[in-house]
Amino acid sequence: MSVQKENIIDFIYAEAALIDERKFSEWLNLFAEDGLYWMPLEFGQQEERLTTSLMHEDKLMLTVRVERLHGERTFSQRPKSRCHHLLQRPEILHISKDTIKTRTAFHYTETRLDEQFFLVGWSEHTLRPADHSFHIVRKQVNLINPESAHRNIQLFV
């Protein structure tokens, strides 16, 4: 298939919408089997393996998270959290036959009970065309304040 820019942008918006709508299993299916979700702990952090990150999740760990969110005895999700992504139009950084890279600025809000917090930053997606859509090979979430003392971040930015 020929990769249309419009399809890429729609895909990024749709990915965020699945999280906001708590369709976590469908969201998980967007990830390639070798997919990775990374949220560095330090601003500008390059090292992934030999230093602490906030998240560095392969598909197994993402699956654990999604299962847990649905679990009966997941007490930190009683009541459940909700979230919302406000995205800037994704910028396409690289496009080739088998790899696409994008940059998307976000305002992310997560809420539970009386508490609500904001996370701000940008996501970098690496996508691989698959069937009539894409697979996420890598989603890197860069917060502008990763080192801050955060509260529980329970869903997915």
Partner 1 sequence: MTDTKPSITLRIANIHRVAPDIKAFTLKTLDKGKLPPHAPGSHIKIAISDKDTRSYSLLPLTGDDSAEDTCRIAVLLDQNSTGGSQFMHELSLRDNVTVSPPKNDFPLANTKNPSLLFAGGIGITPIYAMAKQLETADAEYTLHYAGRREGKLAFTDEINRLIGDKLHLHYDNQDSALNISDVLEAATKNTHIYVCGPKGMIVAVRRAAESIGFPMGQIHFELFNTPSTTKGDVPFEVEIADTGKVHTVPVGKTILDVLEEAGEELLYDCKHGDCGVCTTKVVSGEVDHRDVVLSDSEKAAGNLIQICVSRAKSKRLVLDLQPETQTKKITPKTNPKPTQKKNENNMKTIDLEWLVQPGGSEVHRDVFINQDVFEQEMKTVFRNTWVYVGHDSQAPNKGDFTTTTIGNQPVIMVRHSDNNIQVLLNRCPHKGVQLVNDPSGSTGQYFRCPYHAWSFKTDGSPLGIPFEKGYEETGFDTSCAKEGMCKVENVRNYRGFIFARLSPEGESFEDFFSGSLSSLDNMIDRSPEGRLEVVGAPLRYLHYCNWKMLVDNQTDTCHPMIAHESSAGTVKKLWEAAAGENTPKPMVVEIVLPFMSSYETFENMGIRTWDNGHGHTGVSWSIHSEYSDVEGYFGKMIKAYGKDRAQEILAETRHNTCYFPNMMIKGAIQTLRLFKPVAADKTIVESWIFRLVGAPDTFLERTAMYNRIINAPTSIVGHDDLEMYERAQEGLKVDANPWVNMQRHYHEDELGGERVHPGTSEVQMRNTYVSWAKYMGMGEDS
- Site residues for partner 1 per CB under 8 A: 39, 41-42, 47, 49-56, 58, 60-61, 63-65, 67-68, 71, 73-76, 147-154
What phi, psi does 73 have (nearest 5°)?
-105, 30
Residue whose CB is less far from partner 1, 107 or 150: 150
Residue whose CB is less far from partner 1, 74 or 133: 74
In sequence order, what are the residues at sequence separation of 6 or more whose Cβ sits closer than 8 angstroms to the Cβ of residue 44? Answer: none
Q: How far is the CB of 141 from partner 1 (least distance, A)?
A: 10
Residue 19, helix vs strand vs coil: helix
Q: Are 105 and 99 in contact (CB under 8 A)?
A: no
Sign of CA dihedral 106, 120, 57, 101: positive
Q: How far is the CB of 4 from partner 1 (least distance, A)?
A: 34
Residue whose CB is less far from partner 1, 65 or 103: 65
Residue whose CB is less far from partner 1, 4 or 76: 76
Q: How far is the CB of 18 from partner 1 (least distance, A)?
A: 19
Residue 86, helix vs strand vs coil: strand
Q: How far is the CB of 70 from partner 1 (least distance, A)?
A: 9
Radius of gyration of the chain measured on its C-alpha atoms:
15
Residue whose CB is less far from partner 1, 51 or 99: 51
Q: How far is the CB of 41 from partner 1 (least distance, A)?
A: 6
Structure-token match 């508490």, residue found: 115
Q: How far apart are CA 157 and CA 22, in angstroms?
A: 12
